[in-house]
């Protein structure tokens, strides 16, 4: 099943650690297909997929597709139609974003993610919401200034990775696989209640950030 990350429909299970994948998937989608429905298959070769599998990004169509291990290995280099989404998680404790720098981006929410679209030639900013993934305006000049000062932002691989920023007591930034962003957004969407999302949404987000802190390696 091909995923178009526009805030509608079922979102892909996240890449990364089995614990986080299982945790987010149980909120975002059933672990097994309903009776009568076929199991998930690789978008390229049709092989049946297990619970844990890789994803491919289609930069031109801004979509994400499920892939078996063999097909995922075919698209690890730029230039093809698809790009295999990596599984690295990075942070930069030596150069954290400051409150003033976050304010420069003028993002009106407490959590957002940023990825570079090779098709559009620019960075796109989005955030989770009750409607799914919502795109917001981004001051590109401000982003370029921050990317020049922060190696984490400059290390972003186009189309397949994102910078996730959570604004709590301070701004935490992680470089993560882009499919993880859409899985998180899907999990928050289906569990959203009330104006601020409710207790379950806060718990899902807290669990996600805890997992990222444990997994992240220094850039």
pLDDT in tens, 127-165: 998 988 899 999 999 999 999 999 999 999 999 999 999
* % of the chain at pLDDT higher than 90: 58
Q: How far apart are CA 186 and CA 10, in angstroms?
A: 7
Phi-psi region of 121 (alpha: psi -120 to 50; beta: other; left: phi over 0): left
Residue 8, strand partner residues: none
Q: How far apart are CA 174 and CA 92, in angstroms?
A: 8
Instruction: Calculate the average pLDDT of the chain.
Output: 83
Q: Which of 196, 189, 210, 181 is nearest to 27 (CA)?
A: 189
Q: What's this model's pTM, rounded to 2 decimal places?
A: 0.82
Helix (H) or strand (E) holding 23: helix 18-28
- Residue 54 burial by Cβ neighbours in a 10 Å radius (0-12, 13-18, 19+): buried
pLDDT score at 52 = 81
pLDDT in tens, 53-86: 899 999 988 889 999 999 999 998 767 789 999 9
* % of the chain at pLDDT higher than 70: 83
């Amino acid at each position: 099943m091909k995923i178009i990350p526009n805030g509608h429909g079922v979102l892909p299970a996240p890449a990364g650690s089995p614990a986080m994948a299982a945790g987010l998937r149980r909120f975002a989608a059933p672990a097994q297909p309903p009776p009568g429905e076929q199991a998930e298959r690789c978008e390229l070769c049709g092989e049946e997929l297990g619970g844990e599998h890789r994803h491919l990004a289609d930069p031109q169509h801004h979509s994400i597709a499920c892939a078996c291990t063999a097909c995922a290995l075919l698209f690890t280099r730029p230039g093809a139609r698809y790009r295999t989404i990596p599984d690295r998680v990075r942070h930069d404790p030596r150069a954290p974003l400051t409150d003033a720098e976050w304010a420069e981006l003028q993002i009106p929410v407490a959590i957002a993610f940023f990825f570079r679209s090779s098709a559009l030639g620019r960075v796109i900013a989005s955030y989770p919401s009750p409607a799914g993934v919502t795109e917001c305006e981004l001051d590109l000049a401000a982003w370029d200034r921050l990317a020049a000062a922060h190696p984490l932002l400059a290390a972003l691989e186009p189309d397949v990775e994102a910078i996730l920023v959570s604004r709590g007591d301070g701004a935490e930034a992680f470089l993560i696989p882009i499919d993880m962003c859409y899985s998180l957004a899907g999990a928050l969407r289906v569990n959203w209640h009330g104006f601020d999302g409710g207790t379950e949404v806060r718990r899902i987000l807290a669990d996600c950030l805890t997992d990222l802190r444990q997994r992240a390696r220094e850039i």
